[in-house]
Each structure stands twice: as C-alpha cells, then as structure tokens.
Chain A
Amino acid sequence: AQSVTQLGSHVSVSEGALVLLRCNYSSSVPPYLFWYVQYPNQGLQLLLKYTTGATLVKGINGFEAEFKKSETSFHLTKPSAHMSDAAEYFCAVSAYNQGGKLIFGQGTELSVKP
C-alpha cells in the first residue's frame, strides 16, 4: 500500500522568501513521485516528477524537489516566492505495478504575503 503525508495544511511566506513544502511517502515498491499545483476552481497542473535517475528534479516556475529514499521524503522548494505562487499544492505517489493511479496527500495551501 502507498500513502502520502504533507506536513502543514497551510504555509505562509513573504514575497521573495524561500518556499518549502514538505512531503513524506510510504511505498512497498520503488515509488514515482509528483508535485501538482491547483489554482481555485481549476484542475491540477504538474509541477515536476521523479521516476528514475537524478534525485534532484527541476520543474516549472522555478520549483524543484529532491527525492531522499533514506528519509522517504520529496520536499518541494523554490528559492524566492512570487505572489502568483499562491495556490494549493499536492504531493502524489504511484508505482509501476499500480496501473499509474496516483495517491495524493491532503494538500498544502500556500499563501504569499506582499
């Protein structure tokens, strides 16, 4: 069975500050890991994903995440927050033998203060 825990349902940062959104996963097989962003009343947009290879993954809009197997973590970071980053962020896990279905965390709402 797979699961995802996102630490902190709400995170608030100032514009220009570091963004750190935490994600820990549980998986009995090698995981594939994803971060999605959701703006109000919209679907989900992929920010980045880890499948195999390099553990530091770069995504769109300046976001990146590092897969740390020993810590079962996949935290999302961005060096400098922008007002347009305010949204809901979801971490998800899947596995090669699970038909591609995504198991999502509960989400973290990011607020950016001017």
Chain B
Amino acid sequence: DTGVSQNPRHKITKRGQNVTFRCDPISEHNRLYWYRQTLGQGPEFLTYFQNEAQLEKSRLLSDRFSAERPKGSFSTLEIQRTEQGDSAMYLCASSLDRARYQETQYFGPGTRLLVL
C-alpha cells in the first residue's frame, strides 16, 4: 500500500508533556497538509508544505505547535506543553501540485491524541 501513513495512530499523554506525530506522504507528492479534527466537527486546516518550505500556517497553530518537513519527504508535527484542548484527531494529507488546478488531497488515517 503506497497511501499516506501516520504514526502513531493513538497517543495518550499527560497535560504539559510534549508529543510528536509523523506523516509519510505518497512518495511523489510535493504538497503536504496538516489538519485537526475535533469530535463532531469537520477538519480544520493547520499548515501546509510545498516540498520542504512551510508556506502557510493557520492562526489555530499557536506557538506551542511546530511542523517540519526536512528534505521534502516525511513531516513531523510537534506539540509542546500539551493542553486538554489539544485533544483531537490530527490528519495529514498529501497531493501532487501541478500548478494547473486543485489536485486531490489523499488523507492518512490520522493520529488521535488524548491529553489527560
């Protein structure tokens, strides 16, 4: 299977701890997106990368959140000093941008975070 993968699938942590999630996109995809989904809501955009460059960050992405995509391959999303309000499903998606029109974003299975 060459789809988008995310690890871990589930993470339980205590308030104040740091957590890091990993996303491996489809290999030839140059764009990578992070979204957050809380219970009963649609996903909300957090940030995206074009290759290794982080081109946009949502206002939802406080300074406790940081994302990287070294070498334009996999990406990590780190949350420092977690709060209970960070509990959510974190979704990663990738696409192949051909600069013509909106390419399909393929989503991973998500990482479900629970902050106690």
Contact = CB atoms under 8 A, between A and B. Distances in A.
A101 B41 contact: no
Nearest to A49: B104
A42 B109 contact: yes
A68 B108 CA distance: 31
Contacts of A36: 107
A44 B104 CA distance: 12
Q: In this complex, which of B31, B43, B48 has the most chain A Cβ atoms within 10 angstroms of its Cβ?
A: B43
Interface stretch (B11-19, B62-70, B76-84, B95-103): B95-103
B91 interface: yes
A18 interface: no
Range of interface residues on B (Cβ < 8 Å): 20 to 34
B101 A90 contact: no
Contacts of B48: 99-101
A94 B45 CA distance: 11
Closest 8 CB pairs of A and B: A104-B42, A43-B107, A32-B102, A44-B107, A101-B45, A51-B101, A43-B109, A104-B43
